[in-house]
A and B are shown apart, each in its own frame.
Chain A
Amino acid sequence: MSGGTDIPLGLLAELTHRCPLQCGYCSNPLELLKANRELDTETWLDVFRQAADLGVLQVHLSGGEPTLRQDLEDIVACLARSGVYTNLITAAVTLPGDRLKALKNAGLDHIQISFQGATDETTFRIGHYKNAFEKKRAAARQARALGLPLTINAPIHRLNIEEVPAFVDLALELDAERLEIANVQYYGWAELNKAALLPDREQVTQQIDFVTRAREDLTGVLNIDFVPPDYYADYPKPCMGGWAKDAFMIAPDGTMLPCHAAQSITSLSFENVREKPLQAIWERSDSFNAYRGTDWMSDRCKACPRRDIDFGGCRCQAFAVTGNATETDPACIKSPFHEELRAFPTSTTVHKRMIGATIAKV
């Protein structure tokens, strides 16, 4: 695919980096943007109209915590008018019933509520927000009462991996349609805290066995989507289905990215929707074209029979571990850096996610 680009299907809009939770696995960058760097309402609405014209069919409204944006109803309504399917990705501790009702009335199609634990205690230990568990459950019940389809998102790591069966019970109790058992991917804050968050191999194996059984037992009852941890895999994940293939992301300040972690690749520079139309960035920017297709690949990846299955894996992980974003993802058994990926001491210290935090990176 040297010539044309595909039409994008999905847009992840990180409306803000502000968040009431302080989870140590957050996928946001370490340098979080303050409110004064966020796009204003008119710019976001223009971005969403452009996205719809470009062919985007689904928009995931995320953050930070997207409900901290007071214009969320306007954004949902604007997308609904264009026929775009809207998905709200929220921690749901700042989402009272009347707000949710207003969002539903504006045309919201689906809500995804994150749970840091399957118990009150774990939820607090990870997110550091009092009474979060009950608030989330109340929001989930309210969503179902309004007829909104519900996904429970459970980001899994060493501090909650034992609760995977309890997450399934929680999803059933809350009448969710989907449960995402999403093993944390180690970018941003998660990468900083990975020595304290990465589960051991035995725990991961048990989890995979449990989820495989649960998916079978609950066919037609609960859809369980499973994001396996690639640290113990032989082959990398097909990250984003290929770089800039069918989705993109916009950061709170308007930076347009092929994926939410792409800014960690410091050898690339990214463009901003304040300065250029979305279509120009999607089709012609150096950053989006950098790893499209297969021309950029090392000979190792080019010659690999899995080339069109996993596309060489994740560019961000390749850059983080090897310093070269065109390297084979070190999660791949064929990578010379494969062993290095897992070689780090474990720790019990978790840095809390905070705006303006100064972190001494080891």
Chain B
Amino acid sequence: MTVARKRAILTADSVPILPAHVRLVFNEKRESWVVLAPEKILWPDDISVLILQNCDGARSIGEIARALSKEFSAPSSEILGDILEFLQDWSDRLLIRLAEQSGGKP
């Protein structure tokens, strides 16, 4: 009867997405990015915002690392580990999902 859900272990091939009920928005009043989630409010720093903006359900984490390597002028191999660590933590808190596992449901 129990729904068989499993912890997602992220790799460079995983395709992350912010579910519809986790909203990354810019708050004019505070001049700051904010993440609104069930009974949670988070204040991501600039780098986190950039990563989250790239979690579009189309690109893999490897591709996100390559895209951001240009912006940070650092090799993607160097930043891949940091991005994986950040997104694994967010996945463990159910703030991001993997595109293939979400199946349209949050």
Residues of A within 8 A of B (CB): 7, 9-10, 55, 57-58, 60, 83, 85, 87, 109-110, 112, 144, 147-149, 151, 169, 172-173, 175, 177-178, 219-223, 225
Contact = CB atoms under 8 A, between A and B. Distances in A.
Contacts of B34: 57
A147 B106 contact: yes
A83 B24 CA distance: 11
B79 interface: no
A112 B38 CA distance: 9
B39 A87 contact: yes
Given A110-B39, A173-B1, A147 B7 contact: no
A7 B39 contact: no
B106 A219 contact: no
Nearest to A110: B38
Nearest to A60: B39
A172 B38 contact: no
Contacts of A149: 19, 21, 38, 106
Interface string B62-106: 000000000000000000000000000001111000000000111
A219 B8 CA distance: 10
A281 to B, nearest CB: 18
A55 B29 contact: yes
Contacts of B41: 9-10, 57-58
Interface in B1-54: 1-3, 5-8, 19-21, 23, 25, 27, 29-30, 34, 36, 38-39, 41
B30 A55 contact: yes
Given A110-B38, A110-B39, A147 B94 contact: no
Given A110-B21, A220-B91, A175 B39 contact: no
16 contacts: A7-B30, A57-B34, A57-B41, A83-B25, A87-B38, A109-B21, A110-B21, A147-B104, A147-B106, A149-B38, A169-B2, A172-B5, A173-B1, A173-B2, A220-B6, A221-B6
Contacts of B92: 219-220
Given A57-B41, A83-B25, A219-B92, A147 B20 contact: yes
B105 to A, nearest CB: 6
Contact of A220 (B8, B30, B36): B8
A58 B36 contact: yes
Interface of B: 1-3, 5-8, 19-21, 23, 25, 27, 29-30, 34, 36, 38-39, 41, 91-94, 104-106
Contacts of B36: 57-58, 85, 109
A85 B37 CA distance: 8
Contacts of A177: 38, 94, 106
Contact of B105 (A7, A147, A219): A147
Nearest to B88: A220
A221 B5 contact: yes
Given A10-B41, A149-B19, A225-B39, 12 more contacts: A57-B27, A60-B39, A109-B23, A110-B39, A144-B105, A149-B38, A173-B3, A178-B38, A220-B8, A220-B92, A221-B7, A223-B94
Contacts of B29: 7, 55
Nearest to B1: A173
Nearest to B8: A220
Nearest to B23: A85
A55 B34 CA distance: 12
Contacts of A110: 21, 38-39
B3 A175 contact: yes
A220 B94 contact: yes
A13 B41 CA distance: 18
A86 B92 CA distance: 23
A278 to B, nearest CB: 14
A86 B6 CA distance: 28
B28 to A, nearest CB: 10
A274 B21 CA distance: 33
Contact of A178 (B27, B39, B91, B106): B39
A149 B106 CA distance: 7
B96 to A, nearest CB: 11
A222 B5 CA distance: 9
